Every structure is written in C-alpha cells, then in structure tokens.
Amino acid sequence: MSRKATNFRDVNENPCNMCMPMGGILALKGLENSMVILHGSQGCATYMRRHIAEHFNEPIDVASSSLNEKGTVYGGEKNLKQGLDNMIKAYRPGVIGILTTCLADTIGEDIDRISQDYLVERGYTDLPVVTVNSPGYGGTHAEGYWLTLRRIVEKLARKTEPHTGINIFVPNISPADIREIKRWLELMQVSYTLLPDFSDTLDRPYQRPYRKMPEGGTPLADIAAMGGAAATLQLGVTLEDSMSPGRFLETEFGVPLYNLPLPMGVTNTDLFFNQLTEITGKKLPAELQQERGRLLDCMIDSHKYNGAGRSVIFGEPENIYAVTRTCLENGIYPVVIATGSKNPQLVTLLEDLLTHSPVRCTVLTEADFATIRVLSRGKANLAIGSSDGRYLSEREDIPLVRYGFPIHDRTGGQRLLSVGYRGTTYFLDQLTNTLLENKHKHYRKSIYQAFYLGINKTLDSAESGGEQHVL
C-alpha cells in the first residue's frame, strides 16, 4: 500500500466531501422531535436542505438565523434568538440543535452563552438545546456528524441507575441500514438505544395528514439513560476520542466501550454479533445464522466474477473501511481508497487490512476527485461511493455502484440496504452484477482487440499501481 495522506496541491478540484454542519444536521435529524437551526448566512441552510432533500426525497426543515452584514459587525445574538422564537412557535420541538457555520465561528459567536441566556429569558426551563461548533473549515461532514453525536450525548446523557440496555452509535448509514440493525436487536430481544435513529424521520411512509414533525427518532429519555447502559457498541473504529460519543460515556459514566467496524462483510458482521452475544449472553437467532449461510453461498457463487474486480472506494472513513473489507473478502481488490477527511487512524487501519492484498493500493486522505480519477485510470473496473463518482464512469469508463451519501442522480439512496449478512448479500450482488454488465458491454471489443488486433489489454494490477503519481 502506498499512502498519500495529503494532497500536494492547493486546489481542491471536484471535492470528495462536504462541510461540517451538513453532518451535524443528519445527526440531529435522528433525534425525536428535533429541530435544527444554523447560525449564519441563510444560504448555508438552503444549500444543505437542498442536498439532503435530494438524497432522501424527504422534506428537510432546517432554520437559519439569517445573519446579514449588520450581524457580522454587531454580532448575531438578536437574530439567533429571534430565529429560535419563530422556529419554536411553528414546530414546538422537543429538542433543538444549534449548529454554527463559517460565519458565526469566524466572528466568534458564543452559541452556548446565547442559548443559555435565551432559555432563561423565555422561561424554557425544560427545553434541551444541543450546541455544536461546526464551522465549514473545521472538518468534513463526517466529522460534523460524529462531533454532533458526541455533543448530543454530552448534553443529554445522565448518570442513571445501571440497566441491561446497550448503546449503539451508528455512522452515516441509510435509514434502511438503521432499520436492519434494529431488526437484529429486536430478534435477539436486546434492549437498546440507537443513536441517531433517522430510519423514520428521513424515510417516512406516505401518511395522511402530513405532519410537520416526522414521527420517530431516538427518544430523549433513552439518551438520558445511556449513562447507565451495560455497554456501548460504537460503529466507529476510525474515530478520534474527541469526537467519540462512546468514549465520553465511558469516561464520564463508566459505560464499557466496544469500538467496532460498521457490520458490512462477513468479518465485520461476525465481529458485531460476537460482541453482542458476549455482552448480552444471548445466542445468534437461527434466522440470522441462515442469513449468514446465504451470504456465504452468494460469495461462493459469485467468486469467479468478483475475482476480476478491481475497485476504487471513496466516501466517509467509517463507511469506506467497511466497504474495503467487504471487497477484500471477495477478491475485488481495491486500487484506490479515498476520503475527503483527514484521518490518520483510517490509514493505519487500512494498512493492516491491505497487508495481504495482492494488488497495490493507494490510500488518499483529504482527497479530491481529480486525484482519485488519475490514480484509478486503467487500474479499476468498479467504483463504489456517492453519486459524485459519476465522472469516473463518464470519463474513465469505470462503472459506479452508488453507496453512501449523497446519491443525487439516482433514486432510493435512503433505501439502500448494505449492513449485516443480508445487506452485504444485496450489496455484493450489486457489485458482481455491475462487473458482469461491464464485461458484457465490452466483450466484443476486447475479443476483437485480442484476436484480430493482437492487443491484449488487461487491467494493470499486481505488478503496477500505487506508486507516486505525477498529478
């Protein structure tokens, strides 16, 4: 494996990530009866609502304090308070998230102080407010997501009587994935609190009459009780402690923390259930054992096609770690793995994982698509990641399997199921079928080239790739 921990250029050409408050909104949407207000220019809220709505095909109500030039000079306190007033009046939220943007942080707004004053002034003694400093320059949406989860727990978890429930923190996965994880826990009759649970709030059934506040989300009372849980399963092996909600619960309330990878692929899913059965003493239900068997059957059936796969994987650290493992298990060896985040932890983890991969692979952090594209050219035949990777298909003829966030050029991003034995089976079928389709699309041309023109064109694989490329 060769590392490329930093991008040597100053230009970011076709970004591979979004900004911090974007992730913050997603995390807060998984809280029951929550509303979010962004403190800054109204464009931030408008842009992020637009992008989230297009992925989930759902209404995304996010307020803004609509700061203008005056606010940048005299401070935005008045606007934020007025914004809170109007938002509370229209939505009656049970919890409020205040996220800062570039503007608010650059002028040094103290949202903690402002929100505390506000609650006292208005007499809202019971209204919990979660504040997060999430300037766009502070990190990517992935960091915004985890930091917000940590802030939610810091604000809402209490020291409570010990109970047998377990805490589960999930990375930015689809509502369908969250529903799947909940299904296992219910099958195993494990009492749990899963955060953030946007399985309903960001994927609502059609229902009449329309409700401004969607049903669902992690109940606040459950979060309050997280401090007394038997254990925390945090699907976040790439996390720094400062952004880890599980670490907070451990240091603050002594809840044992088990950091696990996102359960995609056999190994990761086995790890998950192993840990779960160890903690709870419950057995893996027959239904899930069957699903494991079916996944293995699928892997065996498809291995001869998968073996020809060479993947380029991009997205948020936690997700790409799990996808990489799934690819490695199936011989779809990665040639490029990239994230927009700065994440040294991820690089170390991938280094371990890739030790035995027969194909050289370049790992990029703080990556942009221009770099990903150059490094994948002629080496990969399968791209896995968000819809922003479509240029890899259009320009480099590398077909894209859409996974992660955002998916803007296809429908159903919220319904993609990729976790667990069953989800991995669906996911793997997609990878295999994409390889087969691609092969079918090109076989006449390749045969013609091989037998009539004598050009034997195969992917550069084991022998090359991964060296330092001139950009």
Partner 1 sequence: MAINEKKLEELLNQYPTKVKRNRKKHLIIKDSSLAHQEIEANTRTIPGIITNRGCAFAGCKGVVLGPLKDMVHIVHGPIGCAYYTWGTRRNKAKSDDPTKNFINYCVSSDMQESDIVFGGEKKLARLIDEVMDIFQPNAITISATCPVGLIGDDLQAVAKAAQEKHGVEIMAFNCEGYKGVSQSAGHHIANNILMERVIGQGDWEEAPGKYPINILGEYNIGGDSWEVERILEEIGYTVVSVMTGDGSYEELKNAHVAELNLVQCHRSINYIAEMLETKYGTPWLKVNFIGVQSTIETLRNMALYFNDPALTQKTEEVIAKELARTEPIIEQYKKICEGKTAFCFVGGSRGHHYQGLFAELGIETVLAGYEFAHRDDYEGRDIIPEIKLDADTKNIPEIHVSPDERRFRLKLSPERLAEMKKKIPLSNYQGMNIEMKDGTIIVDDLNHFETEEFIKLLQPDIFSSGIKDKYVVQKMGIPSKQLHSYDYSGPYAGFNGAVKFAEDIAMSFATPTWNFITPPWKNKPLLEGTIVEGGCSVC
Q: Which runs of consecutive H residues, i.e. helices, occur in 389-419?
A: 390-396
Distance CA 272, CA 275 (A): 5
Residue 48 makes CB contacts below 8 A (sequence gap 6+) with 21, 22, 25, 38, 60, 62
State the nearest-atom distance from the C-beta of 212 to partner 1, in Å. 7
Q: Kind and range of the H or E element at 310?
A: strand 310-314
Distance CA 143, CA 39 (A): 18
State the nearest-atom distance from the C-beta of 113 to partner 1, in Å. 18
* Residue placing its CB nearer to partner 1 in the complex, 405 or 421: 405
Own/partner contacts of 414-417, CB < 8 Å, gap of 24 or more, are: 414/55, 414/56, 414/57, 414/58, 414/174, 414/175, 414/176, 414/202, 414/203, 415/174, 415/175, 415/176, 415/203, 416/174, 416/176, 416/177, 417/174, 417/176, 417/177, 417/180
State the nearest-atom distance from the C-beta of 46 to partner 1, in Å. 5
State the nearest-atom distance from the C-beta of 107 to partner 1, in Å. 6
State the nearest-atom distance from the C-beta of 196 to partner 1, in Å. 20
* Residue placing its CB nearer to partner 1 in the complex, 11 or 286: 11
* Residue placing its CB nearer to partner 1 in the complex, 27 or 44: 44
- Other Cβ atoms closer than 10 A to 190: 19
State the nearest-atom distance from the C-beta of 222 to partner 1, in Å. 27
Residue 310 makes CB contacts below 8 A (sequence gap 6+) with 332, 333, 334, 335, 359, 379, 380, 381, 382, 459, 461
Q: Are strands 166-169 and 231-234 parallel, antiparallel or unpaired?
A: parallel
* Residue placing its CB nearer to partner 1 in the complex, 168 or 370: 370
* Residue placing its CB nearer to partner 1 in the complex, 131 or 193: 131
State the nearest-atom distance from the C-beta of 58 to partner 1, in Å. 5
Amino acid at 75: G
Bridge partners (DSSP) of residue 301 are none
* Residue placing its CB nearer to partner 1 in the complex, 145 or 253: 145
Phi first, then psi, for residue 363 (nearest 5°) are -105, 125
State the nearest-atom distance from the C-beta of 193 to partner 1, in Å. 28
Q: Distance of CA 422 to CAs 48, 189, 329, 368, 394, Å?
A: 32, 19, 16, 32, 31
* Residue placing its CB nearer to partner 1 in the complex, 48 or 262: 48
447: left (phi > 0), else alpha (psi -120 to 50), else beta?
Answer: alpha
State the nearest-atom distance from the C-beta of 251 to partner 1, in Å. 25
Sequence length of the chain is 471
State the nearest-atom distance from the C-beta of 99 to partner 1, in Å. 12
Distance CA 322, CA 346 (A): 11
* Residue placing its CB nearer to partner 1 in the complex, 85 or 278: 85
Provide the token pair at 447: 């045969």
